Amino acid sequence: MTAAKAEGTGIPPADPGEADLTAIAGFLDALWMERGLSDNTLSAYRTDLSKFAVWLRRHGESLLSARRHHVLDYLAGFSAAPPRSTARRLSTLRRFYQYQIREHRLQADPSARVESPRLGRPLPASLTEREVEALLEAPAVEEALGLRDRAMLEVLYATGLRVSELVSLTLDQVSLQQEVLRVTGKGSKQRLVPFGEQAADWLVRYLDEARPAILGQQVSDALFPTRRGRAMTRQAFWHLIKRYALQAGIRREPSPHTLRHAFATHLLNHGADLRVVQMLLGHSDISTTQIYTHVARERLRELHARHHPRG
């Protein structure tokens, strides 16, 4: 039975052919060498390309023999999926085929004239300054773990770090004297991020009082270790934020990036330059940062409507 005839019979889908696996592996190796992408990003590319390769194999084609109508038919099968998912799949195919053209394995890109679905950029969920204050005050700082959590929240709000960047901080990445962090972000890019006096005060208090009590006799280079002496996971810290948000009476459920969004929005609300916010957040493209200008404008509209006599 051919792969095409097997479709819909309950037989498990075929794996990508050997040539497709080789093409995918070469593409991912090039991405890693050129862009330094994370394992998670490379895995997402591999998954998208492998699924398309399996679909093509069922139709008697391969990645390097696909035509525009194959791309259109494949993406049409995801009509019920969110537009953002379809756009991501198409973006993967475009990057793959552009690489093949650059390597002179193809002369034409089958995805080139395929339109990407229109996306409305969602505004990131943020918190008001009052909500942030309530969240920061939620941990019980008379306890070692509570003091650690307060220091983590203070650093997160003061710097706008990604949660993964925060939990992976080590002692040698912190300069209390200069009040800066040396952060390794996406693509292994390093940046210096200031954290200010208040976060510095909480860090000093945490390092003096709480960290030794948490570690006991253990040795760890993690800035914010757990009682096991290991760095906290992103998921564990997310659960902490959710718990403290509930304690603080914040009705909206926070996301892992809630304080990062608040950091950027509040900076812009207080007059910070967009380029400065871009550098602090570690965005390679300023268009990624510009979404926060929309959040700031919405906040200004709300304030105007609430307080202006003709609002």
Q: What is the pLDDT of residue 6?
A: 40
Angle (CA) 138-143-171 rounded to 5° is 90
Q: Is 190 part of any domain?
A: yes
Q: What is the pLDDT of residue 139?
A: 96
Q: Are 18 and 144 members of one domain?
A: no
Q: Are 191 and 266 members of one domain?
A: yes
Q: Looking at the predicted structure, is the pLDDT value of residue 118 above 90?
A: no
Q: Is 51 part of any domain?
A: yes
Q: Tell me, what CATH number does 280's domain have?
A: 1.10.443.10
Q: Are 164 and 261 members of one domain?
A: yes
Q: What is the pLDDT of residue 98?
A: 93
Q: Is 119 part of any domain?
A: no
Q: What is the pLDDT of residue 4?
A: 39
Q: Are 150 and 282 members of one domain?
A: yes
Does residue 219 contact residue 229 with C-beta atoms inside 8 Å?
yes
Q: Are 155 and 293 members of one domain?
A: yes
Q: Are 238 and 152 members of one domain?
A: yes
Does residue 182 contact residue 173 with C-beta atoms inside 8 Å?
yes
Q: Is 202 part of any domain?
A: yes
Tokens of 64: 């390097």
Distance of CA 212 to the CA centre of its chain: 32
Of the residues 102, 119, 153, the one at which a domain ends: 102
Q: Are 165 and 231 members of one domain?
A: yes
pLDDT in tens, 126-169: 788 899 899 999 999 999 999 999 999 999 988 888 888 999 99
Q: What is the pLDDT of residue 146?
A: 96
Question: pLDDT: is 187 or 247 the higher one?
Answer: 247
- How much is the average pLDDT of 293-308? 55
Q: Are 55 and 204 members of one domain?
A: no
Q: Are 189 and 289 members of one domain?
A: yes
Distance of CA 206 to the CA centre of its chain: 28
In percent, how much of the chain has pLDDT > 90?
49
Q: Looking at the predicted structure, is the pLDDT value of residue 108 above 50?
A: yes
Q: Are 55 and 133 members of one domain?
A: no
> Which residue numbers are catalytic?
162, 186, 257, 260, 283, 292
Domain containing residue 10: 3-102
pLDDT in tens, 47-90: 999 999 999 999 999 999 999 999 999 988 887 787 788 888 99
Distance of CA 311 to the CA centre of its chain: 37
pLDDT in tens, 188-214: 778 888 898 999 999 999 999 999 999
pLDDT in tens, 228-279: 999 999 899 999 999 999 999 998 878 768 888 888 777 777 777 777 667 6
Q: Are 183 and 42 members of one domain?
A: no
Beta bridge partners of 190: 184
Q: Are 89 and 221 members of one domain?
A: no
- What is the number of structural domains in the chain? 2
Q: Assign 61 to helix, strand or coil.
A: coil
Q: Which of 177-186, 194-203, 251-260, 294-303 has the lowest mean pLDDT?
A: 294-303
Q: Is 154 part of any domain?
A: yes
Tokens of 167: 């939990």
